[in-house]
Chain A
Amino acid sequence: MANFRRFRPDDLNKLSKCNLDPFTETYELGFYLQYYAKWPSLFQVAEDQHGNIIGYIMGKLESSPDVYRFSEHYLPWHAHITAVTVAPEARRLGIGKLLTEQLEVAADANDAWFVDLFVRVTNYKAITFYKNMGYSVFRVVKDYYGEHSTDPSLSSEDAYDMRKPMKRDVKKEHVRDDGEKHEVDPSDVW
């Protein structure tokens, strides 16, 4: 039912199975293409037998800008998961996990210290998903999201910044057990 391959721009015409689901955000064209331009091997898709995209992951490799080198929030060379989504009909088949693992392989191949991502603190499904793959909360970003996903009376929502150490981080210096207790402002993350 599924093929795994690198994203191609034409896939943007086949996103409906993923993107009509309210949990998946649709971005401007330039946003997708920027990832495809800069990190094509970190943009992978799963497609079904009819060519519909039923899952994708979009990621990047970077470190914080040099000017922040001495800031406590400076992030060394790492991979970042910008989006991962699987169409409702294809969930719980391991597609999300496979896509994430592919990105981790690329992160190791590029000598990244860790892989990180942001997730809404109420997206329990996704949090469980990441935790089961070895990610843990590194810090809480207060009011990271501009609106609340479930409670319309709230104007913002916190994010967990979750991380998984890669091979380079032999001593596990870039993760911590009590990440939930470390709160930062959105302006502290890049």
Chain B
Amino acid sequence: MSSYRYGRPALKSTVDVQLQTAFSDGNWSSVVRLATKRAATLKDPYYEAIKMCAQSQLDGTLEKCAMLVAIDDLVKAKKTPDIDTIELYEWACRDFFDYEVEYADTLGPLRARWAKANPGSPLALQCLQSCLENWDLVSAQQISTSLDKAYANTSDRRYMFWNIILTFLLSISPQCTDASRKVYSLLAVRQLERAADLTENSAKLEATDRGLLTEEEICLYYRVLHSHGTKEEFISRLKSPKLGAIGQLKDGRKVLFCEGLDALEKWGEWDLIYNLCREALTLGLEGTTAPFFVCDLQIWRKFASAASKTADSDSALAEVQATLKKYVDIKDQASAMYKKNISLALLETTFRLPATALNPNHDNAGLSPRVVQIGLFLDQYFERLSAFDDVKSYVAELGFDELKKLMEDVLPKILDEDADKARKIVLKALECKLRYLLTTCPQSLSPQPVVDGETKDKLFQCRICANATSLLCESCLKKLLVDASETYKQINGDKELLAAIPRLDKDPRLDLALVMGTSLLKLSKLQPRTSDATQSLWQDVEAGPFLQAVLLLDTQLRETPGDTELRLLLVQLYLLLGCVSYAYQLWTPLDVKRTIQDSLSPLFFDRISTLSPGLIQGPRPLMGPLRNFYEHSLRDKSPVRIWDAFSAGSYTSILDMTEFDGNLRRSCTMMMTLVEERRATRCYGGKIDCEIEEYILTENINDDTNLVGKTDYGPFPNLESVHGPSIHEYLRLGPGLSNERSHLGFLSEQYLDLLSYKPPKDYKPANASAVALRDREYTLETLTRLSSSMTTFLHAPTTPSLLTPAEHTYYTTLSLLSAALLIALSTPRSDPSPKTLSMVTKSIKTALTTLRTTALPHHHPRPGPKPSSSSPAWTSYTGTETHALACLHATATAIKHSAAFVLTFHDRELARDRSGRSGLHRDVLAEMKALGEVAGKSAAEVKGWIQKLKEGLAEGGWLDRVLDLVFGDQNDDQDGEDGVARAVEEVVAGERARRSGRGGWWRVGGRA
């Protein structure tokens, strides 16, 4: 625990005033003097403790250690000091617990011993709290055992359950020895089993009985059983009358029911899921529980899907429908939310029924029951903001003929001819979204026989427009775009409609703009940027439609600045374009701060050091709040607020908070924060304050730690069907955060730390050669470890798909470099020239060349946006190129530093040992020198290129050229014929004219 929590302890009241005063004034030298005197005269060891404690407050490592030695003696001698001495020691040690001193080896055992000797004292409880707040589970468990014994028959039930939950926590903690793990597991389960039996078998329990009484106690039992017991035990108890899921529901407790179903689902226990859902829903109908108590969508889903998996699925599904029918009958009593859940449940069950149970043509309009059901749902809900999301997955499941019916027969009939104009527009916007969805559904394509001579990229026929197409029907998208823009213009041209917008759930223009924007992105041939993506954005992507999309969405954001989805989409697009400062301007209003940073910051900050190191380097470091969040939340070893949960008897909270804390300590976002900050600092030649392994945050992270990515993509708009990637995958610079990438980042930083390590200047060891030998051994050990770890992560089968190509080269190079250094430093001078080294350096050079070729523009013809011939190369420079360029720079610098490391090492050895025997192999030196030179040249090249880029941007006017690119050669462009570009331009121009201003596109110029 950090020092801020520890107030200075009060001395025993028997201590004289003079000493008390000196102590409370923090006058430590006086305290030492006085306490020494008192200890001599009174022969009370307490004064020795005061003395030591005061000494430790004076500067001087020796005094601090004296106190640790004293504590260690007490622990080893199995002595139990009095509580005041313990408090003194704990206070004096407070700063050590952040570093090497383990509470569990020092004060924990002393506290446990004291509590065991004085279990009835209120201070024993404080001992438990201290151990918990220092997350010393071994001592805490011991104390809880003493407390449980002392308070066995009180009505304060917490003592019993503290003991059980701590025994359980210990059994799943790394703090437990493997030998005792089993014992603790059994102990926890058996105690709870006994308690559960007592509850089941007694008519009524008193608070003093050792059975299970509260919802928290019961849920704790099931959690422990799930972890340490058998499936059979779990299931049999879940069916039991009192402690079973249904029994608990009758008492108004829903947690167990939900958690139980989750466990059963994992085990595939469909029969039981089916039965439990049916019983639970019946309780609501009978009035045993509130009518809609379990009417959650997930219960209906589980009910329907379990029914379809039972042996007699026909009758089970009939039962689901019958139950649902009863709910439909009482729907009017329900709140809007439950009404909607019931409507969705109707959809769900219709879609889960086997085809045989559905008469495909029983509607006279020739509509399938599935289409009818979607139609009924939309009848009620088409105006709601969430309507599209609600039906999306069902629509994507329809066959093509059904889709056609839905779009042609059902949707147009939702509203009458004379319906309200605004409602019609909302419906139109929904229709556009659905049409877009269809373009992402494979059912709308049919394979087309390839005729000789025909272009091979159009392997399909679109069943909607009958054109030959690739996986994505461009002509449908173009038509959709033009239609959407017509609607958009219609709204803008109609005062009545504009006036109606504030009354609607959502501005329909926003939906239309999103449809147009994503259609344009698809037309630009943008693909998810996975490992095989090329490093140049414009190599795959057509600049025209891509920039049109950005311009259009940007214009829309000005109209609806409060829309988070649109804003995030644009942030990503601008990052992809490399317009980082503008992306940051758009990001800031989202106000991602405090707790939500872990899940949302990667959306802006991942890979930011490769896009704009300057942005996060400046006087107010942008990543400061993120780092603070982790430092603040993970400052203590225990989960935040854990004692609150103990003292409130919230046992499931204790378990979940512990798990959450464990995940946060292994957060990929946290690792991203540290690595990005360091990279940016390095780019600017800044000083990195400490080695990455020295951060408290990385304390317990090693190769075996599974780093967890929790990035939240929920706030993105998503018009895509489940058959393809989500939109955010198209927009990212590369694959999202992952365990493998985070580890590689961590390891590469460790490698760079090793290279930049310099012994303190004033350190002049007496035996220089012994120290040099030890240093060399340490370096070799570290290199061996890093090389092996990096290789392992790089060679994991999924790793290449988790990195951008440039990152892959960077990490490969670093892993090769660590191997090269290992050979260089360990080859004896007398050996023949090491062949392996030249092989490794050759691979390094090849890697560097590959990266240079792709990242530096004059190495390959750059496709660029159309009029590239007339504009300078930098106009085609986007985020993807900047990223590759930064990786090239980092790679070249790492090579340069590695070579320098070897040469410096050699020089140092020569200076120390004039005999030259400890120096390095001649060939090694030559090899490394050559490597360093090659890398140095590349680094200089990158620098030169960046300089040019800067000058180019400073020239100004590049935005005009970008706009030219967007709408420029419309006339001779084929896009012009189908009117897409004109459609977009009209919307943008119209919107801008309406808002009369040049808008913010012009501000985009602030490229980093």
Q: Do A and B bind each other?
A: yes
User: B296 near A2 (CB under 8 angstroms)?
Assistant: yes
Is residue B644 contacting chain A, with contact meaning CB distance below 8 A? yes
Task: Give which listed residue, A4, A14, A37, A39, contacts B712 with CB less than 8 A.
Answer: A14
Q: How far is the CB of B643 from chain A (nearest CB, A)?
A: 8
Task: Give which listed residue, B640, B645, B663, B715, contacts A20 with CB less than 8 A.
Answer: B715
User: B714 near A26 (CB under 8 angstroms)?
Assistant: no
Q: How does the 8 Å CB contact mask read for B650-680 relative to A, with 1 for contact and 0 for none?
A: 1011101101100100000000000000000
Is residue A176 contacting chain B, with contact meaning CB distance below 8 A? no
User: B215 near A13 (CB under 8 angstroms)?
Assistant: no
Contacts of A74 in B (CB 8 A): none
Which chain B residue shows the least CB distance to A101?
Answer: B335
User: B599 near A52 (CB under 8 angstroms)?
Assistant: no
* Cα–Cα distance between A2 and B595 once the two chains are bound (Å): 24
Q: How far is the CB of A150 from chain B (nearest CB, A)?
A: 14
Name 4 extra pairs, CB < 8 A, besides A13-B599, A36-B641. A38-B648, A48-B386, A51-B714, A97-B335
Task: Give which listed residue, A1, A3, A26, A30, contacts B340 with CB less than 8 A.
Answer: A1
Which B residues form the contact surface with A (CB < 8 A)?
A: 215-216, 254-255, 258, 296-299, 335-338, 340-341, 344, 385-386, 389-390, 505, 562, 564, 590-596, 598-600, 629, 632-633, 639-642, 644-645, 648, 650, 652-654, 656-657, 659-660, 663, 710, 712, 714-715
- Known A-B contacts A13-B712, A37-B657; A20 and B598 likewise in contact (beta carbons under 8 Å): no
Contacting residues of chain A (1-55) with chain B, CB-CB under 8 angstroms:
1-6, 8-10, 12-17, 19-22, 26-30, 32-34, 36-41, 46, 48-52
Contacts of A4 in B (CB 8 A): 296
Contacts of B337 in A (CB 8 A): 1-2, 46, 93-95, 98
* Cα–Cα distance between A97 and B292 once the two chains are bound (Å): 14
* Cα–Cα distance between A9 and B657 once the two chains are bound (Å): 6
Contacts of A19 in B (CB 8 A): 596
User: A30 near B600 (CB under 8 angstroms)?
Assistant: no
User: A38 near B644 (CB under 8 angstroms)?
Assistant: yes
| B contact face: mostly helix, strand, loop, or mixed | helix
User: A33 near B641 (CB under 8 angstroms)?
Assistant: yes
Which chain B residue shows the least CB distance to A51?
Answer: B714
Which chain A residue shows the least CB distance to B633?
Answer: A29
User: B714 near A34 (CB under 8 angstroms)?
Assistant: no
Task: Give which listed residue, A2, A8, A89, contacts B341 with CB less than 8 A.
Answer: A2
Which chain B residue shows the least CB distance to A20?
Answer: B564
Number of interface residues of A (CB under 8 A): 48
Q: How far is the CB of B198 from chain A (nearest CB, A)?
A: 24
* Cα–Cα distance between A21 and B215 once the two chains are bound (Å): 34
- Known A-B contacts A8-B656, A20-B590, A29-B633; A3 and B296 likewise in contact (beta carbons under 8 Å): yes
Task: Give which listed residue, B562, B599, B659, contacts A12 with CB less than 8 A.
Answer: B599
Contacts of B660 in A (CB 8 A): 9-10, 12
Q: How far is the CB of B327 from chain A (nearest CB, A)?
A: 15
User: B644 near A49 (CB under 8 angstroms)?
Assistant: no
Contacts of B650 in A (CB 8 A): 36-38, 40
User: B641 near A52 (CB under 8 angstroms)?
Assistant: no
User: A37 near B653 (CB under 8 angstroms)?
Assistant: yes
User: A28 near B632 (CB under 8 angstroms)?
Assistant: yes
Which chain B residue shows the least CB distance to A55?
Answer: B337
Contacts of B715 in A (CB 8 A): 16-17, 20
* Cα–Cα distance between A57 and B344 once the two chains are bound (Å): 24
Is residue A92 contacting chain B, with contact meaning CB distance below 8 A? yes
Contacts of B593 in A (CB 8 A): 26
* Cα–Cα distance between A116 and B595 once the two chains are bound (Å): 26
Which chain A residue shows the least CB distance to B564?
Answer: A20
User: B596 near A15 (CB under 8 angstroms)?
Assistant: yes
User: B594 near A27 (CB under 8 angstroms)?
Assistant: yes
* Cα–Cα distance between A37 and B638 once the two chains are bound (Å): 14
Which A residues form the contact surface with B (CB < 8 A)?
A: 1-6, 8-10, 12-17, 19-22, 26-30, 32-34, 36-41, 46, 48-52, 88-90, 92-95, 97-98
User: B341 near A12 (CB under 8 angstroms)?
Assistant: no
List 26 A–B pairs whose Cβ atoms lie within 8 Å, in order of A's numbering.
A1-B340, A2-B296, A2-B341, A14-B714, A16-B712, A16-B714, A19-B596, A20-B590, A20-B591, A20-B592, A22-B591, A26-B595, A27-B595, A28-B633, A33-B639, A33-B640, A36-B656, A37-B645, A37-B648, A37-B650, A46-B337, A88-B385, A93-B335, A93-B337, A94-B335, A94-B336
User: B595 near A32 (CB under 8 angstroms)?
Assistant: yes
Contacts of A90 in B (CB 8 A): 385-386
- Known A-B contacts A12-B596, A38-B644, A94-B336; A26 and B341 likewise in contact (beta carbons under 8 Å): no
Contacts of A36 in B (CB 8 A): 641, 645, 650, 653, 656-657
Q: How far is the CB of A14 from chain B (nearest CB, A)?
A: 6
Which chain B residue shows the least CB distance to A15?
Answer: B596
Q: How far is the CB of A104 from chain B (nearest CB, A)?
A: 13
* Cα–Cα distance between A39 and B653 once the two chains are bound (Å): 9
Q: How far is the CB of A66 from chain B (nearest CB, A)?
A: 17
- Known A-B contacts A13-B712, A37-B650; A89 and B385 likewise in contact (beta carbons under 8 Å): yes
* Cα–Cα distance between A14 and B595 once the two chains are bound (Å): 11
Contacts of A2 in B (CB 8 A): 296-297, 337, 340-341
User: A37 near B644 (CB under 8 angstroms)?
Assistant: yes
Contacts of A29 in B (CB 8 A): 594-595, 629, 632-633, 640
Contacts of A50 in B (CB 8 A): 714
Contacts of A10 in B (CB 8 A): 656, 660, 663
- Known A-B contacts A12-B596, A93-B336; A30 and B341 likewise in contact (beta carbons under 8 Å): no
Task: Give which listed residue, A21, A52, A97, contacts B564 with CB less than 8 A.
Answer: A21
Q: Nearest 9 pairs between A and B by C-beta? A: A94-B335, A9-B660, A37-B645, A37-B644, A3-B296, A13-B599, A52-B714, A89-B385, A16-B715
Contacts of A39 in B (CB 8 A): 648
Contacts of B254 in A (CB 8 A): 5
- Known A-B contacts A26-B594, A37-B653, A94-B335; A1 and B386 likewise in contact (beta carbons under 8 Å): yes
Contacts of B562 in A (CB 8 A): 22
Contacts of A13 in B (CB 8 A): 598-599, 710, 712
Contacts of A9 in B (CB 8 A): 656-657, 659-660
Q: How far is the CB of B964 from chain A (nearest CB, A)?
A: 35
Task: Give which listed residue, B216, B340, B386, B595, contacts A89 with CB less than 8 A.
Answer: B386
User: B712 near A41 (CB under 8 angstroms)?
Assistant: no
Q: How far is the CB of A124 from chain B (nearest CB, A)?
A: 15
Q: How far is the CB of A11 from chain B (nearest CB, A)?
A: 10
Contacts of A93 in B (CB 8 A): 335-337, 340
Contacts of B591 in A (CB 8 A): 20, 22, 26
Contacts of B296 in A (CB 8 A): 2-5
Residue among B215, B341, B642, B644 with the most chain A CB within 10 A? B644
Contacts of A8 in B (CB 8 A): 656
* Cα–Cα distance between A49 and B301 once the two chains are bound (Å): 10
Contacts of B386 in A (CB 8 A): 1, 48, 89-90
* Cα–Cα distance between A16 and B385 once the two chains are bound (Å): 17
Contacts of B255 in A (CB 8 A): 5-6
Contacts of B639 in A (CB 8 A): 33
Contacts of B385 in A (CB 8 A): 88-90
* Cα–Cα distance between A90 and B633 once the two chains are bound (Å): 31
- Known A-B contacts A1-B386, A94-B336; A38 and B590 likewise in contact (beta carbons under 8 Å): no
Contacts of B659 in A (CB 8 A): 9
Q: How far is the CB of B640 from chain A (nearest CB, A)?
A: 5
Q: How far is the CB of A92 from chain B (nearest CB, A)?
A: 7
Contacts of A38 in B (CB 8 A): 644-645, 648, 650
- Known A-B contacts A5-B296, A17-B715, A90-B386; A34 and B641 likewise in contact (beta carbons under 8 Å): yes
User: B600 near A16 (CB under 8 angstroms)?
Assistant: yes
* Cα–Cα distance between A34 and B659 once the two chains are bound (Å): 16
User: B297 near A3 (CB under 8 angstroms)?
Assistant: yes
User: B653 near A26 (CB under 8 angstroms)?
Assistant: no
Contacts of B633 in A (CB 8 A): 28-30
Which chain A residue shows the least CB distance to B300?
Answer: A3
User: B344 near A1 (CB under 8 angstroms)?
Assistant: yes
User: B632 near A37 (CB under 8 angstroms)?
Assistant: no
Task: Give which listed residue, A6, A30, A41, contacts B641 with CB less than 8 A.
Answer: A30
Contacts of A26 in B (CB 8 A): 591, 593-596
